[in-house]
Structure 1
Amino acid sequence: MVWMVALLGVGVAALMLFSLTAGAAGLGAALAARLLFVLILVFAATPWLAPPEPRLDPSALPSGLLG
């Protein structure tokens, strides 16, 4: 996950740098915006990537439930 975010960030920066040096700032900004949108989607999806809660084991119930 971290590698994907890092590579997308480097890609956005490189795309903007190379498009500015080539004189195609409009095209570079349009393409970088698409990469940036994917980067925002990755950050938005991270809360759903948490591991699931462990299942309840009937033989090891918490003491508060037995009282």
Structure 2
Amino acid sequence: MPQRTRTARVCRDCDGFPVVAITTGTRHTDGTRAALRIVCPACQGTGRALSAALARMGR
């Protein structure tokens, strides 16, 4: 029987996947692809939503 666990509030903008790698289409000399790491601007890469109290305080 599954147990209920306390889950953190997931960021609704990135759905808990705060950092993504996007390939640019070019390759390095060793054959690997050049990629950009993009961080979610809403949660700043944490993957969790801020509580309303912290958002009001300006954190």
Judge same fold: TM > 0.5, yes or no.
Answer: no
Task: Judging by fraction of residues, say which structure has more helix.
Answer: 1
| Rg larger in structure | 1
